[in-house]
Structure 1
Amino acid sequence: MLTLQQNSPSLLNLGKCREAVASPMGCISVPMGFMLQTPAIGVVSNLRRKKGKAWVLVSKRRSYIKNVLSASQKESGVVVKEDTEFKSSFDEYLKAMESIRTDREKKKAGGGSGHGKKPTDVAFSKDVPQRRKRDETVTLKRFKRSDSKEGDKLPERSQGVAGKKELGGSFQPRNSIKPQKELSSVGTKTGSSKKVDVDTTASTRTKFVKKKSMPMNERSDDEWEMERFIFQPSELLNDGLNGPRVSRMEMEERIQNLAQCLNDADVDMPEWMFAKTIRSARIRFSDHSISRVIQILGKFGNWRRALQVIEWLQMQERFKSHNIRYVYTAALDVLGKARRPVEALNLFCAMQRHKTTYPDIVIYRSICVTLGQAGHMKELFDVIDSMRSMPKSFKIQVHDDWDPRIEPDIVIYNAVLNGCVKRKEWEGAVWVLQKLEEIGQQATSTTYGLAMEVMLASGKYDLVHKYFKEVQGLSVPNALMYRVLVNTFWREGKPDEAIAVVQDMESRGQVGPASLYYDLARCLCSVGRCEEGLMQVDKICKVASKPLVVTYTGLIQTCLTNGNIHDAASIFNHMQKYCSPNTVTCNVMLKAYLGCGMFDEAVELFRKMTRSRQKGSKIKSEISPDVYTFNTMLEACIKEERWDDFKCAYEQMLQHGHPFNTKRHLWMVLQASGARKVEMVEITWRHLERNKRVPPPALIKERFRVKLENDNLVEAVSSVACHPSTNQQSFSKDAWLKLFKENAHCFKKEVLEHLISDLSKSETPNLIFQNLLDSCLEFVNLDNLVAG
């Protein structure tokens, strides 16, 4: 506890204070009325008077030695800094806190007479800020006491110089304080002082008022609130970095919430909002926390946001990483699972530029697997060459024993085989097996399975059987090898051998994955043995993770690929006993029915799909017809010239919220109108008006033709008036004249003359109407000449 002894009780003015002398106990002697300010960062001090002789300084959470004096005080040498001795004792801290509480209770019990001891001569005004501003920056300096334990370090806080003094002991708030560099003395045990550079920065404006001999019962509520405030934890230190410890569960919950917020945020979120979101999470920024955020974003499939987190991290000077390689490894894993080889390779190249992030074997494995799955063989071999050579991006000293060169292991060679599957390069598989034999590395079952898959993709079926026999002589084949063998027999048209292979696997006590039984079922369905194929569905259900409807859809597609529509329909009816078909399954069957000339079956299926989404329908289904469903049905109706079905399907499309598409549906509407289904034009016209869309020029001229043919001159002219007259080419004189000539048998001469009369009386200058008038006059005159 730091004790400030009173030198003279009669001194009230700081300008008239005498010099202070150091006491034999190492305490600091200051004149009465000397006022200590609150430390600048997050630690609030309270000054109490004890027995009328000494001042007791009680610090919240930490104690600090701070010699902040005004220029006049420094010149007069009021405080002897060399004799300052810092002694931290938690027990004394508790005693001081207990004494404050005891004094407060005694004053309350005294009935507020005001004759007791003065609680303090320092009172804080009510405008002390509850939270420090963001733009307040304070540099913390660390020092080690000579009498402290090893490793026990305390930060030295900086504080601004006091403002101008006033008579009566009050300080005026400072309007502006420029950051300055002071030399603060830190007392050592030997009495010598050590100069420490402290950067002081202006703090928030706070008025400190010294009040004399104020009884405890006369203090205002604001002053009591301020005394409670000075013993509260600092807001700045409780920001997740220097605040109180939190449990792992709570920190993990904060990380989860941060990742969820970043994933749900807008893609075009500005940089300042992105930084604010991260800082508001109140997490301790470490390699582990950042890696966890990236991993969770990877589970969400948001690899772009994961890269944005790394980009933000690179700009943070406060972040101190112990092993930043962990963070980049997590990002590479996210990019690999998202199938983003280009971004992963760019990040890998960036890691090679620095020694602290230079790739290790885990990173090499990750980037090789990513490149191999994408089939980028050239880049993959470049990575393998780089891991065998010394880095050229930075110099390595002679005495440095760091050697980053690594030889490829079995995982990297398996990645090469993955790339060979994509490229169908069977020579690469042979090279990998030879390379493993040269280095004395035994190929695993996974390696042989990938080699067999390469041969299957390349059409080398004999090598597939050869590698399978080699594995049988060394170890038990795994499920991957059995699956490749089943697909090989399928390609060779040997379904019985495929069944025998699966039975042999099961006799060994092995249970294959869902993909194995799925491939066997497709193999059987492709040769017309659908009943045996459906028997494999029971085995698929026991080990499958995907929905059952996906399996049935694949079997239906296999039958259709082989041109067997009846088996596909049989499987479609069979699946409805166990699961409901989804939109994809119905679209496949709809396309199959229409392709095989089964229009009535297609219409019945289409009606079931549309009725399931209607309000009040008793059919409970998740089927929702999409744009592909309606387009397929509309095209089929036009091909079969089923105009009533076309009108029904077109109206259903608009009711289900799929808008009119000019490129897709305009030619259909015009063809239906030409087939005397003119109501399709009106349905489209009303739909465009409801959605406040400008009709295309072809639809405008078609509606004009229909209305003029029906002697509805007002509606015909209003159709043309709705166009903003920006496309002059479609409404030129020649375009209108062509329309009149092609439909001359539809127009009456009296209607055309009436149209000419109405257009001549129009006073509104419109180039479209002028072209219409000229073309109509020319057509009528030409018609009169022909008639004459």
Structure 2
Amino acid sequence: MIGGLSVSESAIEALSLINYTHSSFFHGGSSVLRGSVAVIAPRRKKQKIIATRSALSDGSGVVLDKEFDFEPSFGDYLKAMESVKTDRDNNNNNNNNNNNSNSKSISNTSRKQRIVKKNVREEEENGADVATSARRESRKGVVSNNGAFVREGSRKGDFRDDGVSLEKFKKQDKNLKAYTVKKNVSRESEFMDMERAAFKSLDYEGVIDKPRVSKVDMDERILKLAKWRVLQVIEWIQARERYKSHRIRHVYTAALDALGKARRPVEALNLFHRMLDQMDSYPDIVAYHCIAVTLGQAGHLKELFDVIDIMRSPPKKKFKTEFLEKWDPRLEPDVIVYNSVLNACVRREKWEGAFWVLQQLGQQGQHPSSTTYGLVMEVMLACGKYNLVHDFFKKVQKSYIPNALIYKVLVNTLWKEGKTDEAIMAVEEMENRGIVGNAGLYYDLARCLCSAGRCHEALKQIDKMCKVANKPLVVTYTGLIQACLESGDVESGAYIFNHMKKFCSPNLVTCNIMLKGFLDNGMFEEAKQLFIMLLENSNSIKHEEDYKVKVIPDIYSFNTMLDACAIEKKWEDLEFVYEQMLRYGHHFNGKRHLRMILDARRAGKEELLEMTWEHLVETGRDPPPLIVTEMFCVRLEQGDCAAALSYLVNFAYVESQVFSRKSWSKVLVENAHRFEEHSLDEVVREGNILLAGNENLAVRHLIESCKEFLRAKRSSNEVEVGRIFQTEAALV
């Protein structure tokens, strides 16, 4: 309860989203909050920004967001609210007195109406002067309050005289109110409403008769306080007279719970230590639950043990207990606190601490829930602590009958240890105890059997799964196939794959897993047959509903087959799969397909290179530099020098190192057996003609490399000819 209002959990949680200075976990029991706070008042068209002041004692200032036009300081806002409260209290007293006499009330109402009409007539004559005066007073730092001006720094209607008499001031106040009524009657309530939207419910006028603020409205208002810091909000509430009836411990506990839900353990611990400073806010069992759960979820084990020590120890600070001489806040941790410690131990993999918690609970005659045990065992299993899983299972058996979740973890543990028979015995023991296993338990047992090569026994578990859950059969069969393949038993996987067709159609995931399983185990022909079957399915699809029962290959299927063909150097099959891939609407991927295309070309399959080039041109994509270079070499090998140079002119860009002089020299050396000398001479001649018309660095680098290559080649030929002549002369 804050200010007589019921604040929902989500609203309180919004307070935890406040960004304040992170301190260490222990700071003498207090938070290290510093800085000022400013509250946003209602927007005004006439008023501008008023200087902010600190709500704390340090006097530092802050810069507010520019999304608000009117931004007074926290202190200014509070003073305005106090004046509003005073005025309204006076108005309520006057109304109560007027109710004693109906005739007097009617006459006062008539008199007020006549005054308003008179002011309207006066304002029609000199409205501009009043508006000017209002703007002048606004620039002096005043805040409107029901038509009256409260100067900055005033307290409960105590006006300061800055050269303007009180009589004149009241007259301007009356004229401005009348001007507002005439200008826009609908804006009068907005202009008179001083409270910000977040504090609209703090209006004391008729608060008893008004309905409760809805949860949505309260959440929205609290969210507007998102830039307030938690401790500052609590200090503000604590300093207000109107909140004295509310226990500050409840406010602290609500904020502590909100910080926990927002996953803010550091701030929550700071707030917890602040609670230790006062007797009124000293933590009770609810507060200990909040901080324990928060620290446990974050895995802060050391800090959690310190909280338990505080819980068991008397207060370090001496409080004046007065009449409460026997006041003793010491408490013993209960199952909620110990479960939080257990959660932290599991997150930190501190298994000794987990056993300590179990011992403490045993001494108190309390035990964690079976679900808690199951979660702990799952984490231990994930960490490879198989012995600890068995120890925990024995402890559970001593306390109560394990549930299906615990047996599921046990079966997975035995599966990891390769103890298939023990896993079957564990499930049989569970069934003999009358415990109904869940679908996950039987699914894990079936996969365990598949890993051991006992697929026939695994298929019998599917009937049990169907009795306890409506899990799709295709998912179940796919998992069993995956388990067989992971253990290297591709024959059992193929058997289950064919067996499932009697009950459900394999989906694309199942087919891809089986395709990959065949290829990984050297069964290329079986994979090829499965892939062809997927291609044939597309020919039988005539309606959209056919896709539910017919599976066609996707890009993963094509890439899997392409990789296998490249590894096996089956270039004919590679060309067929690649052509089908493009026909099905999939695109060339340079990172995946470029290397296999170049390898295929070196093996004599130039069709793949031509096919890729046409595909890139049709789709409007820039060809990779290596494709451009390879196309140049192909055309030059064919003796078409002009076509070869056209690739460089149209598609080569100088930024790529592929077209540098060094790279061209390497290409010419590696492909020297493919090029005739006259073809290279023609490249030099045609290239010079192109450079005369337009400078192209890729072509220039090519020409320079060709000249150097030809010069080196001819020099070596001359040396070789000379050596031959010398040898023949010596023989003669």
Check whether TM > 0.5: yes
Query: Structure 1 residues 529 and 765, CA, compared in 2 at 3 Å: closer, same or farther?
Result: same
Where do 5+ consecutive residues of structure 2 fail to align? 1-40, 44-66, 72-76, 98-117, 149-155, 160-169, 202-206, 238-249, 276-280, 719-732
- 1:490-528 per-residue CA deviation (whole Å, 9 max, x = no partner) reads 455554443343233334332122222122212222222
Could you say what secondary structure the match of 2:218 adopts?
A: coil
Instruction: State the shift of 1:758 in Å.
Output: 1.0
Query: Structure 1 residues 471 and 530, CA, compared in 2 at 3 Å: closer, same or farther?
Result: same
Counterpart Cα distance in 2 of 1:163 and 1:479: 82
Number of matched pairs: 562
Show the counterpart of 1:115: none
Equivalent residue in structure 1 for 2:412, among 460, 484, 487: 487
Following superposition of structure 1 onto structure 2, how do residues 372-771 of structure 1 map, counting pairs within 5 Å?
379-389=300-310, 398-399=319-320, 408-414=333-339, 417=342, 426-442=351-367, 444-446=369-371, 449=374, 468=393, 471-491=396-416, 493-544=418-469, 547-607=472-532, 617=542, 619-621=546-548, 628-653=556-581, 659-689=587-617, 693-723=621-651, 725-727=653-655, 729-762=657-690, 763=692, 764-771=694-701
Instruction: State the shift of 1:644 in Å.
Output: 3.5
Partner amino acid, structure 1, of 2:514: M
Show the counterpart of 2:703: 773
Following superposition of structure 1 onto structure 2, how do residues 306-345 of structure 1 map, counting pairs within 5 Å?
323=251, 329=257, 332-333=260-261, 345=265
Counterpart Cα distance in 1 of 2:350 and 2:181: 82
Counterpart Cα distance in 2 of 1:783 and 1:745: 12
Counterpart Cα distance in 2 of 1:247 and 1:661: 65
Counterpart Cα distance in 1 of 2:600 and 2:680: 26
Instruction: State the shift of 1:666 in Å.
Output: 2.2
Counterpart Cα distance in 1 of 2:176 and 2:637: 85
Partner amino acid, structure 1, of 2:217: R
- 1:138-172 per-residue CA deviation (whole Å, 9 max, x = no partner) reads 9561232336789xxxxxxxxxxx99997974634
Higher relative contact order (CA 8 A, sep 6+): 2
Counterpart Cα distance in 1 of 2:297 and 2:646: 62
Partner amino acid, structure 2, of 1:384: F
Q: For the Cα contact (< 8 Å) 2:380–2:386, is it kept in 1?
A: yes
Partner amino acid, structure 2, of 1:633: M
Following superposition of structure 1 onto structure 2, how do residues 220-299 of structure 1 map, counting pairs within 5 Å?
283-286=216-219
Counterpart Cα distance in 1 of 2:422 and 2:182: 98
Task: Say which is worse superposed, 416-425 or 313-322, in terms of deviation.
Answer: 313-322
Counterpart Cα distance in 1 of 2:600 and 2:348: 49
Q: Report the TM-score when normalising by structure 2.
A: 0.61
Following superposition of structure 1 onto structure 2, how do residues 32-71 of structure 1 map, counting pairs within 5 Å?
none
RMSD over aligned CA atoms reads: 5.5
Show the counterpart of 1:363: 290
Counterpart Cα distance in 2 of 1:732 and 1:457: 53
The share of aligned pairs that are identical, in percent, is 39
Counterpart Cα distance in 1 of 2:310 and 2:231: 32
Partner amino acid, structure 1, of 2:599: Q
Query: Structure 1 residues 568 and 776, CA, compared in 2 at 3 Å: closer, same or farther?
Result: same
Partner amino acid, structure 2, of 1:768: A
Counterpart Cα distance in 2 of 1:540 and 1:556: 16
Counterpart Cα distance in 2 of 1:369 and 1:653: 53
Q: For the Cα contact (< 8 Å) 1:169–1:209, is it kept in 2?
A: no
Counterpart Cα distance in 2 of 1:745 and 1:473: 82
Query: Structure 1 residues 425 and 683, CA, compared in 2 at 3 Å: closer, same or farther?
Result: farther
Q: For the Cα contact (< 8 Å) 1:163–1:172, is it kept in 2?
A: no
Where do 5+ consecutive residues of structure 1 fail to align? 1-39, 43-132, 151-161, 187-193, 211-225, 253-282, 291-308, 336-342
Q: For the Cα contact (< 8 Å) 2:408–2:441, is it kept in 1?
A: yes
Q: Report the TM-score when normalising by structure 1.
A: 0.58
Instruction: State the shift of 1:595 in Å.
Output: 0.8
Q: For the Cα contact (< 8 Å) 2:146–2:191, is it kept in 1?
A: no
Counterpart Cα distance in 1 of 2:388 and 2:220: 48
Counterpart Cα distance in 2 of 1:720 and 1:318: 71
Query: Structure 1 residues 286 and 755, CA, compared in 2 at 3 Å: closer, same or farther?
Result: closer
Partner amino acid, structure 2, of 1:757: R
Counterpart Cα distance in 2 of 1:706 and 1:204: 91
Query: Structure 1 residues 540 and 662, CA, compared in 2 at 3 Å: closer, same or farther?
Result: same
Counterpart Cα distance in 2 of 1:464 and 1:364: 29
Equivalent residue in structure 1 for 2:127, among 171, 188, 204: 171
Partner amino acid, structure 1, of 2:547: K
- 1:88-112 per-residue CA deviation (whole Å, 9 max, x = no partner) reads xxxxxxxxxxxxxxxxxxxxxxxxx
Query: Structure 1 residues 288 and 577, CA, compared in 2 at 3 Å: closer, same or farther?
Result: farther
Q: For the Cα contact (< 8 Å) 1:591–1:632, is it kept in 2?
A: yes
- Return the structure number with greater helix share: 2
Counterpart Cα distance in 2 of 1:751 and 1:473: 90
Show the counterpart of 1:276: none
